[in-house]
């Protein structure tokens, strides 16, 4: 019987870790949206992974994994905010609760992903490279600056402009199809 419980525990842990990897982009985006200090995102993402893994035994596979993991990530952001209250001012617990209580969109995300891909191609090659280094490779602006021989401030400005261009492009494409994304 103990061997069977260990097998079930291992299977549940493997399931949860696989789901975490599958939803990594959405979880990272969720953390980015709630965290004013982008330097904290990687740490919070890793802490969320460790907690999700540790709590694998209580996860109900019949429930929405992403909602469950986002709940854990939200608590990690709140904990970080309390620890770093002097360094950055987190959103209040009430605001975080309200943001997290919103239901995720029920429409398929494929059109939005298609728009993002198309809009990324519209950026300049340099902006595309920086976005890839930041969001796909997970490099922080200081590392991107070092790799490009830029100042960190220039990277922050360039990333901000690239994100604004992406946002405007996606909004334009979404509005063009009647807001179905």
pLDDT of residue 107: 46
The answer on 78 and 123 residing in a single domain is no
Whether residues 97 and 115 share a domain: the answer is no
- Within this chain, do residues 56 and 116 fall inside the same structural domain, yes or no? no
In a domain, 50, yes or no: yes
Model pLDDT, residue 150: 93
114 and 92 belong to one structural domain: no
Confidence (pLDDT) at 1: 46
Which of 80, 101, 122 corresponds to the end of one domain?
101
Instruction: Provide the pLDDT for residue 15.
Output: 92
Pair 45, 94: CB distance under 8 Å? no
Nearest to 61 by CA among 8, 15, 104, 7: 15
Q: How far is 178 from 180, CA to CA, in rounded Å?
A: 6
- How far apart (Å, rounded) are the C-alpha atoms in residues 81 and 65? 24
- Digitized pLDDT (tens) for each residue of the chain, 181 residues in all: 455 555 678 888 999 999 999 999 999 988 888 877 777 888 999 999 999 999 999 999 899 999 999 999 988 988 887 776 555 555 566 666 666 665 554 445 567 778 888 898 999 999 999 988 888 788 888 899 999 999 999 998 998 899 889 889 988 988 877 544 4
Whether 69 and 140 map to the same domain: the answer is no
Residues of the domain holding 47: 2-101
For residue 31, the number of C-alpha atoms closer than 13 Å in the C-beta half-sphere is 29
161 and 126 in a common domain: yes
Based on the fold, state whether residues 116 and 169 are members of the same structural domain: yes
Specify the pLDDT at position 136: 79
User: How many domains does the chain contain in total?
Assistant: 2
23 and 81 co-located in one domain: yes
| Statement to judge: residues 22 and 84 lie in one domain | yes
Give the pLDDT of residue 35. 79
Residue 90 and residue 58 share a domain? yes
pLDDT of residue 126: 92
Give the whole-angstrom CA distance, residue 156 versus residue 149. Answer: 14
145: CATH: 1.10.10.10
Choose one of 46, 75, 101: the last residue of a domain. Answer: 101
95 and 6 assigned to the same domain: yes
Domain boundary among 101, 130, 160: 101
CATH of the domain at 68: 1.10.1740.10
Note whether residue 181 is domain-resident: no
């Amino acid at each position: 019987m103990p061997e069977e419980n260990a097998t079930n525990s291992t299977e549940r842990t493997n399931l949860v870790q696989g789901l975490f990897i599958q939803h990594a982009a959405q979880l990272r985006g969720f953390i980015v949206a709630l965290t004013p200090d982008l330097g904290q995102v990687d740490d919070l993402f890793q802490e969320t992974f460790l907690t999700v893994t540790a709590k694998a035994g209580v996860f109900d596979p019949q429930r929405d994994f992403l909602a469950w993991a986002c709940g854990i990530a939200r608590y990690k952001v709140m904990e970080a905010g309390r620890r770093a209250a002097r360094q950055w001012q987190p959103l209040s617990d009430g605001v975080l609760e309200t943001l997290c209580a919103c239901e995720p969109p029920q429409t398929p995300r494929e059109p939005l992903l298609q728009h993002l891909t198309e809009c990324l191609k519209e950026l300049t090659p340099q902006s595309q490279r920086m976005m890839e280094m930041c969001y796909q490779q997970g490099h922080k602006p200081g590392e991107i600056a070092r790799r490009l021989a830029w100042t960190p401030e220039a990277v922050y400005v360039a990333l901000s402009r690239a994100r604004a261009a992406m946002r405007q492009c996606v909004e334009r494409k979404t509005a063009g199809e009647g807001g179905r994304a």
